[in-house]
């Protein structure tokens, strides 16, 4: 409240200016406007310089030159420069606006409807101006309470709020859908683990698996398991014995003939083996019996016979297994080795048996 003017005096002056009391609605509207003006004046938060700039603009003395510098023009000439930050915050708050440039490129700064209303309530209610320096004078101002700029900002804020709510609702719907899908996936994983006997709680189902598909697969497996015995029985009933191939019959006949031939040749083989055993030196070795003295005398003879038999066997093996030690081998530098052979022919009841004995001499 101004120090030079009492609010009661202002109210008394407003009472004198009210419309005819016969029109009650007009009286109510008048006093609502008076009350609103007082509230608006208290909310302006202007400094004396800002109020003076709005007054200069209302008088048509505030312009913007070609380079955008605000000037207070009182007569001819460029005019006095005005703080650009002061004019900028008044324009941003919706109290001032620049017109289209004229022929010289200068633009006139004029008050908006909110500026005219604000200047009127400021002059009528004379609120105490706020002391501001150059820095605080650049701080943003509040638009006129219930003015056009305030309503425009309220509409824009409501639009932004609706857009925010729409985006928020869409995000929440998407989040809820993801949560529902996650829960559904957890349920399907649990059903899949239970259906397959899997105890790992983190195991996940194959892609595309559903309980319906699992039930269908189980049903198909059961039907296959039930149909398998019937199919096997049917195959066993209709199957006929396969005929024996001709080649297999010929092979079996040849095997039978070979077995009979072996059975027939067995006695002859036995007789030939006995005759061959009679030709070995061991068969003609004398049997020494009697006292120990006689056995010691015959020991030399027995040993000579064994050595001769061993040499006979070694010579036969060497001549057959090591041809390089045979008679055809070139004589060594120190010793010449000769090989003689003796062929024995024996006729028995089983047939003729020939044996070749080889002796190495030298």
> Could you report the per-residue pLDDT of 162-220, keeping only the tens digit for each?
999 999 999 999 999 999 999 999 999 998 999 888 999 999 989 888 888 888 888 88
Give the residue among 116, 143, 133 at the shortest CA–CA distance from 47.
Answer: 133
Q: How far is CA 339 from CA 318, 320, 335, 355, in A?
A: 11, 12, 13, 16
The dihedral built from the CA positions of residue 78, 79, 82 and 87, taken in this order, carries a sign that is negative
Residue 241: per-residue pLDDT: 57
Residue from 132, 138, 131 nearest 92 by CA: 138
Give pLDDT, residue 8: 76
pTM for this entry = 0.51
The pLDDT score that the predictor gives to residue 269 is 62
**How far apart are the C-alpha atoms of 198 and 46, rounded to whole Å?**
76
Q: How far apart are CA 93 and CA 87, in angstroms?
A: 10
The residue ranges of the chain whose pLDDT is under 70 are 1-6, 233-254, 256-258, 260-302, 304-305, 308-362
Q: To 10 degrees, the CA torsion angle through 108, 111, 113, 119?
A: -160
Domain positions in the chain are 7-143, 147-226, 291-361
- So what's the pLDDT on residue 58? 93
Give which of 51, 120, 46, 65 is closest to 73, Cα–Cα. Answer: 65
Instruction: Give the chain's radius of gyration (CA, Å).
Output: 68
pLDDT at position 233 is 67
């Amino acid at each position: 409240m101004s120090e030079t003017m009492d609010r009661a005096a202002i109210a008394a002056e407003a009472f004198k200016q009210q419309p005819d009391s016969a029109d009650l609605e007009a009286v109510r509207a008048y006093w609502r406007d008076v009350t609103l003006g007082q509230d608006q004046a208290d909310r302006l938060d202007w400094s004396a310089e800002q109020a003076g700039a709005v007054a200069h603009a209302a008088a048509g003395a505030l312009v913007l030159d070609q380079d955008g510098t605000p000037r207070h023009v009182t007569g001819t000439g460029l005019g006095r420069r005005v703080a650009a930050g002061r004019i900028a915050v008044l324009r941003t708050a919706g109290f001032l606006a620049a017109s289209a440039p004229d022929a010289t490129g200068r633009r006139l700064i004029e008050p908006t409807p909110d500026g005219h209303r604000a200047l009127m309530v400021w002059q009528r209610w004379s609120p105490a101006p706020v002391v501001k320096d150059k820095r605080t004078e650049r701080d943003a101002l509040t638009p006129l309470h219930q003015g056009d700029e305030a309503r425009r900002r309220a509409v824009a804020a409501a639009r932004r709020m609706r857009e925010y709510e729409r985006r928020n609702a869409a995000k929440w719907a998407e989040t809820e859908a993801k949560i529902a899908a996650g829960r559904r996936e957890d349920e399907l994983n649990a059903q899949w683990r239970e259906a397959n006997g899997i105890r790992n709680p983190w195991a996940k189902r194959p892609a595309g698996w559903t309980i319906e598909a699992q039930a269908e697969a189980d049903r198909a497996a059961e039907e296959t398991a039930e149909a398998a015995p019937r199919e096997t029985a049917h195959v066993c009933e209709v199957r006929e014995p396969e005929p024996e191939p001709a080649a297999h019959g010929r092979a079996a006949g040849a095997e039978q003939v070979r077995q009979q031939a072996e059975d027939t040749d067995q006695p002859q083989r036995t007789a030939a083996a006995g005759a061959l055993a009679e030709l070995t030196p061991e068969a003609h070795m004398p049997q020494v019996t009697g006292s120990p003295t006689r056995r010691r005398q015959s020991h030399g003879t027995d040993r000579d016979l064994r050595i001769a038999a061993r040499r006979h066997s070694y010579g036969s093996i060497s001549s057959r297994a090591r041809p390089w030690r045979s008679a055809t081998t070139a004589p060594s530098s120190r010793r010449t080795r000769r090989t003689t052979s003796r062929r024995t022919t024996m006729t028995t009841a089983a047939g003729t048996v020939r044996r070749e004995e080889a002796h190495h001499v030298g």
